[in-house]
Structure 1
Amino acid sequence: MNLYPLGKMLVSTIFFPLYRIKVIGKENFPKEGGVLLCTNHIDNLDPPVVGITCPRTVHFMAKEELFNMPILKTILPKVNAFPVKRGMSDREALRTALKLLRGGEVVGLFPEGTRSKTGELGKGLSGAGFFALKGDAAVVPCAIIGPYKPFKRLRVVYGKPIDMTPYRERRASADEVTAVIMDEIRKLLELNK
Structure 2
Amino acid sequence: MSFYKFVVGVLSFLSKILYRVEIIGEGNIPSEGNLIIIANHKHFLDPVFMLVAVKNRKIIPVAKQELFSVPILKFFMKKVGAIPVNRDNPSISTFRAVLSEIKSGSVLGIFPEGTRADTYDFLTPKSGTTMFSIKTKSDIVPMSIISTFKLFSKVKVVIGEPIDMSQYYNRKVDKSEYQGIVQECFDVVVKNYKDNMGGIIPERTE
Structure 2-normalised TM-score? 0.86
Amino acid at match of 1:36: I
Alignment correspondent of 2:45: 45
2:47–2:61 Cα contact (<8 Å) kept: yes
C-alpha separation in 2, matches of 1:169 and 1:49: 34
Aligned match of 2:5? 5
1:169 Cα shift?
A: 4.4
Across the aligned residues of Structure 1 and Structure 2, the Cα RMSD in angstroms comes to 1.8
Task: Give the Å deviation of 1:141.
Answer: 0.6
Q: Could you tell which deviates more after superposition, 58-67 or 160-169?
A: 160-169
After TM superposition, give the deviation of residue 21 of structure 1 in Å: 0.8
Equivalent residue for 1:190? 194
For 2:98 and 2:91, the matched residues in 1 are separated by: 11
Residues 141-160 of structure 1: pairs in structure 2 closer than 5 A: 141-160=142-161
Q: How does 1:163-182 map to 2 (within 5 A)?
A: 163-172=164-173, 173-182=177-186
Mapped contact 2:89–2:128 kept (Cα < 8 A): no
**Alpha-carbon separation, structure 2, partners of 1:164 and 1:89:** 20
**1:61 aligns to what?**
62
Structure 1 spans left out of the alignment, 5+ residues: none
Between the aligned partners of 1:96 and 1:43, the Cα distance in structure 2 is 26
Contact 1:64/1:83 (CA < 8 Å) preserved in 2?
yes
| Deviation digits for residues 41-75 of structure 1 (CA, Å, limit 9, x no counterpart) | 11111111111111221001112222221222222
Residue type of the partner of 1:181? C
State the alpha-carbon separation in 2 of the partners of residues 124 and 73 from structure 1: 24
Structure 2 unaligned regions, length at least 5: 198-206
Query: Which residue in the other structure is 2:106 paired with?
Result: 105
TM-score, structure 1 as length reference? 0.92
**In the alignment, what sits opposite 1:24?**
24
Residues in 1 aligned to 2:184 and 2:116: alpha-carbon distance in whole angstroms: 20
CA shift, 1:192, in A, is 1.4
Q: Tell me how far apart the structure 2 counterparts of residues 74 and 156 of structure 1 sit (CA, whole Å).
A: 27
Instruction: Measure how far apart 1:119 and its partner are.
Output: 4.1
Seq. identity, %: 35
1:14 has 2:11 as partner: no
CA distance 1:138–1:104, shift in 2 (3 Å): farther
How far off is 1:76 after superposition? 1.3
Give the partner amino acid of 2:191: K
Whether contact under 8 Å (2:126, 2:179) holds in the other structure is yes
Structure 1 counterpart of 2:202: none
Deviations 1:74-125 (A, max 9, x none): 2211112121133333221122112222333201000111111344222111
Count of aligned pairs: 193
Question: In structure 2, do the counterparts of structure 1 residues 2 and 75 end up closer, same or farther at CA, with 3 Å as the change threshold?
Answer: farther
CA drift at 1:170: 4.9
Q: What's 2:204 paired with?
A: none
Partner of 1:73: 74
- The AA in structure 2 aligned to 1:16 is K
